[in-house]
Structure 1
Amino acid sequence: MSLVVSKFGGTSMGNAECMLRSAEISVQQKSFLICVSATSGTTNQLISLGQTAEKGDSNQVQMLAAELIAKHQTIAKDLGLPQDHAPLIQLFEEMLSIAKGMQLLKDCSPRALDILLSLGERTSSVLFAQAMKTQLAKANVKKEVVLFDARDVIATDDQFGSARPQIAKIAELAQSQILSKYPQDKYVIVTQGYIGRSLSGNSTTLGRGGSDYSAALFAEGLNASTLEIWTDVTGIATTDPRICKEAKFIDEISFKEASEMAIFGAKVLHPATVEPAMRKNIPVFVGSSFDPAKKGTWVKKEVTQAPLMRALALRKNQTLVTLSTPEMLQTHGFLFKIFKVFNDHKISIDAITTSEISVSVTIDGEIKSQSQLVQDLKQFADVQIENGYSLVSLIGNNINHTAGLAKKIFTAIEDINVRMICLGASKHNFCFLVDAANGEKAIQKLHTEFIH
């Protein structure tokens, strides 16, 4: 029997109508486990609530909490749930209690914030469970809906705000806590994305956009036959349609191509989503919950066509860090030292180039020249910080084995200065850095040259 894991994002949870439509899709797809995000905008509201509580602003805390409660009570009412529905009331009381504690202590630590943020998904899943009951009854499907706490399976470390899943433990728990207790011919599981529990018992989150990742981890642990990601767009496009109106949706794409796209700026999939699916070779479908009839995009290990150029991605707000020292020449250990600094600051490097006495790396976000990271790097080299760049990536196949490709690329953007080039590490990607003002222009020109 096929086992389908489905995930619905925040816009698919936006109101009662969206939830009922998403639940109808789940019934049609015969989904066994459905992983849901917080309702649209709720995570940002909870972050604002935590930050306001830390400042001790009691009136503003009450107002923000009231807005969150009212939004979810409206959805509950539209789904036919009573205003005093016990699971919702308990979650609202927990939210108020956590906010009050933050306010009294004037503390919104990553650990406390993760507990607060978990309430977004936990609340939306209560509402969506009701939507599933309604649509199963409407379709005359005799299955029981189980509201399952994702934290009982998604085991993580204690890195609050961006916890790392414990893969082997998740697989063990998925088998013992779900498959052995809930036969899929009798049950439908509704659970939460984004949240987990550390091995020491603390609530954690997987980082923004982590619901996709959660669904993939559930799919891997359950040995699912298909993972479905339902969002507000009809699949994966050749580039961001907001940047290039000629962008078109892709029927199928390989795991490696999709992974490169996600890492280098495409927003449809969370960058880590593809990894669990790749490990178990689980096909991933990406479609729109607002227009489920559209065919969407399949992400698979093997695809029927592997074009030279599949898609383009743009990663904005990039910083270029250049480190120079004569000590780097013909010596060992220099790269180890500087990479250790980045590791100690928990900063990920995207692209890297080296010369005899210098190394340049790109990192996500803006870095201040007075930051502690820069001060630590200055122990080993002269440091130059350049903010305000965008990373342009061309994703495809055999890119680093195609003669004349670089000429075509740079001819297409001959009026745009390229600050840094990264090629050779992957046959699926060619990326380079341009001034932020020229990022979208470069994407448009390259899309016209290679795809449109």
Structure 2
Amino acid sequence: MKVYKFGGASIKDADSIQNVAKILKSEGTEGCLLVISAMGKMTNAFENIVHAYCYDKASFKKSLDFVVGFHEDIVNALFDEPNIVLDKVSGLFKNLNSFLAKNDSKSYDYLYDQIVSVGELLSTTIVSNYFVEEGIENIWNDVRKLIITDNSHRDAKVDWQKTQETIIESIDQKKLNIVQGFLGGDTKGNTTTLGREGSDYTAGIFAYCLDAKEVTIWKDVEGVLNADPRVFKETQLLEQISYEETIEMAFYGASVIHPKTIQPLQSKEIPLFVRSFKDLNLKGTKVTRGVAIKPYLPCFIVKKDQILVSISALDFSFMVENNISHIFKLLHQYLLKVNLIQNSAISFSVCVDNKFNQFETFLEELKSSYKVDVVKGVDLYTVRHFTDKSLGEIQQNGLPLLTQINKETAQIVIKQ
């Protein structure tokens, strides 16, 4: 099989969905599985619904009405006779309202997964029905019954054995299948999610379980670029990169491919292509085993709104293994993603991402045992295959607070 992943930008409106249908007609649909994300910026919009439900009831209806209207507008634009699809869309929102009316859980992460997941259910329902109208027969699958996970909401762990058994039993490999990205389900029937931007990972999971021929991630750029075009004025296409290089770039925060995607592909040597849904004539980027990066040039990765934390002992004694072990235990406990580490004899510094908003609690506990200095709102620049010129360009973006360099990678923390 071939596995295709279409993200939110590729199905953000009626014209975009029509374009996906054209791509499939051009590339072929037999033995193909599509992983589809929520439409446009709808994951953000559903996150607003979660926040309103938990913390701001007065804005809940407005947040929900915006999402309902967005999907109804797309259906009305796509279909000559939209009523059947509108009924399906309405049914999904009725299910959501019914769940919320009966809910007695106070767990934000649990509620997040049950609410935000509706975005993918809506997008795949609309796309699947539009394909049928266009003569593209397909099978709509509920991925929550295929990817089996634990109950770690918002960052669920895949049960690979159960997942592979279920996928092989359920997927007709000769036909076009559609599944939701980002989602899974635990053994009790609760919806889970695989981590933000996890649809790439979904594609990797299906490719592994089905021994796919290849995976293609369709993007609004021509392939994997050496820098984010939203941040850097000049970028270049990387024609080929290795699994190892891709993992390195993803680890440091490159947004083009989800960090967990590569491991299942690498283990079965399934090639990954990153192509443009805007221009099928472009070859894009090929990711495979053991190839040199081509062309060889500096690659820039930026993580914004980071927190730089410098830690030292209260009595200015050495920072030894016990101290560092204790700090890492707290970082893990409070779900703080560490993106840079630097230590000296008497201090230990980390640059962290406060994705789950638990930094202040972490900080209070840390201050009971250590002297702590904090700088918020910093940018972390990582440069793979750096040159003196590339480092000089980065340092012009603000005040460098910390620099760390090894053979292939330089990291600089910048305060604007």
The TM-score normalised by the length of structure 2 is 0.88
Is residue 430 from structure 1 mapped to residue 400 from structure 2 by the alignment? no
Equivalent residues in 2 for 1:226-375 (5 A)? 226-303=214-291, 305=293, 309-325=297-313, 329=318, 331-365=320-354, 371-375=360-364
The secondary structure found in structure 2 opposite 1:318 is strand
**Partners of 1:352 and 1:361 within 8 A in 2:** yes
Structure 2 match to 1:26: 24
Whole-Å separation in 2 of the counterparts to 1:369 and 1:108: 15
Q: Deviations over 1:74-119 (max 9, x none)?
A: 33332345324453332121122234446xx695732122111111
Q: How many residues align?
A: 410
Letter in 1 for 2:132: K
**Partners of 1:13 and 1:39 within 8 A in 2:** yes
Cα distance change on mapping 1:164 and 1:81 into 2, 3 Å? farther
Equivalent residues in 2 for 1:8-87 (5 A)? 8-31=6-29, 32-55=32-55, 57=57, 60-77=59-76, 78-80=78-80, 82-85=82-85, 86-87=87-88
**Partners of 2:253 and 2:302 within 8 A in 1:** yes
Q: Deviations over 1:198-253 (max 9, x none)?
A: 23331111222111111111111111111111122221212122333221222112
Whole-Å separation in 2 of the counterparts to 1:54 and 1:167: 33
**Partners of 1:255 and 1:301 within 8 A in 2:** yes
Structure 2 match to 1:450: none
Cα distance change on mapping 1:330 and 1:92 into 2, 3 Å? closer
Structure 2 match to 1:174: 167
**Partners of 2:334 and 2:359 within 8 A in 1:** no
Q: Which runs of 5+ in 2 are unaligned?
A: none
The secondary structure found in structure 1 opposite 2:226 is coil
Whole-Å separation in 2 of the counterparts to 1:355 and 1:123: 51
Shift of 1:333: 2.3
Shift of 1:361: 0.9
The secondary structure found in structure 1 opposite 2:307 is strand
**Partners of 2:96 and 2:115 within 8 A in 1:** yes
Structure 2 match to 1:140: none
Letter in 1 for 2:114: I
The TM-score normalised by the length of structure 1 is 0.82
Structure 2 match to 1:419: 401
Whole-Å separation in 1 of the counterparts to 2:48 and 2:100: 11
Q: Deviations over 1:3-45 (max 9, x none)?
A: 2100111121112221121122134333510010111122222
Shift of 1:323: 1.4
Whole-Å separation in 1 of the counterparts to 2:356 and 2:62: 34
Cα distance change on mapping 1:283 and 1:380 into 2, 3 Å? same
RMSD: 2.9
**Partners of 2:252 and 2:301 within 8 A in 1:** yes
Whole-Å separation in 1 of the counterparts to 2:241 and 2:200: 17
Whole-Å separation in 1 of the counterparts to 2:75 and 2:359: 49
Q: Deviations over 1:412-439 (max 9, x none)?
A: 6676653223334xx553222222x2xx
Cα distance change on mapping 1:93 and 1:252 into 2, 3 Å? same
Cα distance change on mapping 1:72 and 1:414 into 2, 3 Å? closer
**Partners of 2:337 and 2:354 within 8 A in 1:** no
Structure 2 match to 1:189: 177
Percent sequence identity is 28
Structure 2 match to 1:92: 93
Cα distance change on mapping 1:79 and 1:368 into 2, 3 Å? closer
The secondary structure found in structure 1 opposite 2:33 is strand
The secondary structure found in structure 2 opposite 1:333 is helix
**Partners of 1:73 and 1:83 within 8 A in 2:** no
Whole-Å separation in 1 of the counterparts to 2:107 and 2:293: 50
Cα distance change on mapping 1:430 and 1:170 into 2, 3 Å? farther
Structure 1 match to 2:2: 4
